[in-house]
Amino acid sequence: MTPALAEIERLGEPEEVAALGAQLGRFLVFARDFEAAAEHLERALSLAEERDLPETLAQALNSKSVLMLFRGRPQEARLLVRGALAVALEHDLHDPALRAYNNVVADAWYAARFREELALIDEAVDYARRTGERLWELVFLIGTVGGLDFLGRWDEALANVDAVEPYASTEYARGLILWAALIHLRRGHVAAAREVVDRLADIGRSGNLEFAQGYAVVHAALVLAEGRHEEAFREALRSIAQPVTLWWIYFQALDIAAALPDADAASELVARAEEGTRGKRWGPVDAQLSRLAARLPEHDPLAELEDAERRFRELEVPFHLAVAQTERADHLLAAGRADEAARLLGEAREVFERLRATPWLGRVDAALGREEVVA
């Protein structure tokens, strides 16, 4: 595109230069050539303002928001992408609006604002339907699965997977379907999770590093549930061996670390996650790190788990809050504080029962049995 842009600069109109410059800047962002991307995007934005080119303005603002996200400036990225969406909607520009909706949704997910994310997806689905964009409608619907999982709306998440999967032809959509395996595992449905992971095994061979990393961490959760602890450790470690831009991969790797019987392996995963997320404001990962710190001898497990509970409660993620409550209750029982443990276990049990999280229900019932003995 660079020589094409040079020719258009020589022979074309400013409107054409602006549009092509915005597109070249967009591609350079994803090629991680940030300096060149910024130069082209700034020029496109200047021309778009000067010539009143709303479509180019919306597209360039959107691409610049991604650039700012990659440069570690999420608040600036958020303002830019919301501006892109506002411009696109004001001028009824369907393609830029759908792209902006996608990135606004991604921003809410990236910031772990799950309720906001799902509300935005509702808007985006409605817009896609009104404009006849069936492919975008499917993309937005499958994009709900992670947020619905965290908010404890598992049946809705699985229903959306069932609705979309027959039409999921892109790697992106099929990669998001993998999340269903995690919900199956939390319910103890290991065979169902195995079927999902095997059916989507090609995602693990993707040339897109983030897709391959996502598959590795889901596969690690599966083999852990199948009792293959060493393989689970290797797969989880592989998922975060290279720099990861998706917080949920670290989150799931830490979930695996919490269940590993080998304390050294768990500590290594924690150390890798701490190194990879240092300086990031990833609330769910910080909550998991507090939870995992309870396993380390230099930390007070009750204090760390109480901190994890506080963080999970702020995130409004009921399953993970109940997990932390169950783990803190175990420590309280060991300390002879049965009344406090019983309260936590009762709250956790209500959540696990509603979600049909059978493995954790069993763990709570076992702990409640111990509480009766202690009492």
Structure tokens at 124: 């985006």
Residues 88, 103 contacting (CB under 8 angstroms): no
Nearest CA to 214 among 174, 184, 170, 186? 174
Residues 22, 40 contacting (CB under 8 angstroms): yes
Type of residue at 87:
V
**Mean pLDDT of the region 171-197:** 96
Residue 214's pLDDT band (cuts 50, 70, 90): very high
pLDDT of residue 373: 44
User: Helices then strands (H, E): number in the chain?
Assistant: 22, 0
pLDDT for residue 116 is more than 80? yes
Q: Which residue has the tokens 């695996």?
A: 256
Model pLDDT for residues 39-57, shown as the tens digit of each residue: 999 999 999 999 999 999 9
Cα–Cα distance for residue pair 325/3, rounded to 1 Å = 60
pLDDT for residue 10 is more than 80? no
pLDDT of residue 296: 84
Cα–Cα distance for residue pair 35/215, rounded to 1 Å = 32
Give me the architecture of the 281-375 domain, per CATH: Alpha Horseshoe (1.25)
Q: What is the b/e burial string over 285-320, where b = at least 16 CB atoms within 10 angstroms of the residue's CB?
A: bbbbbbbbbbbeeeeebbebbbbbbebbeebebbbb
Residues 168, 177 contacting (CB under 8 angstroms): yes
Q: What residues have CB less than 8 Å from 262, skipping those under 6 apart?
A: 229, 233
**Mean pLDDT of the region 171-191:** 96
Structure tokens at 122: 């509702």
Q: Say which CATH class 1-111 falls into.
A: mainly alpha
Model pLDDT for residues 299-349, shown as the tens digit of each residue: 999 999 999 999 999 999 999 999 999 999 999 999 999 999 999 999 999
The answer, as to whether pTM is greater than 0.85, is yes
Residues of the chain with pLDDT > 90, as a percent, come to 83
Residues 145, 153 contacting (CB under 8 angstroms): no
Measured CA to CA in angstroms, residue 335 lies from 80, 206, 331, 375 at distances of: 52, 48, 6, 12
Model pLDDT for residues 14-37, shown as the tens digit of each residue: 888 889 889 999 999 988 899 999
In 10 A of CB 155, how many CB atoms?
Answer: 12
Q: Which residue has the tokens 């701490």?
A: 274
pLDDT of residue 108: 95
Give yes or no on whether 1-111 and 281-375 have one common fold: yes
Cα radius of gyration (the chain): 23
Structure tokens at 21: 């410059």
pLDDT of residue 375: 46
Backbone angles phi, psi at 152, to 5 degrees: 80, 25
Cα–Cα distance for residue pair 58/94, rounded to 1 Å = 11
pLDDT for residue 135 is more than 60? yes
Question: Collapsing DSSP states into helix, strand and coil, what is residue 189?
Answer: coil
Model pLDDT for residues 243-301, shown as the tens digit of each residue: 777 899 999 999 999 999 999 999 999 999 999 998 888 999 999 999 999 988 889 99
Domain boundaries, the chain: 1-111, 178-278, 281-375
Cα–Cα distance for residue pair 232/234, rounded to 1 Å = 5
Cα–Cα distance for residue pair 247/236, rounded to 1 Å = 14
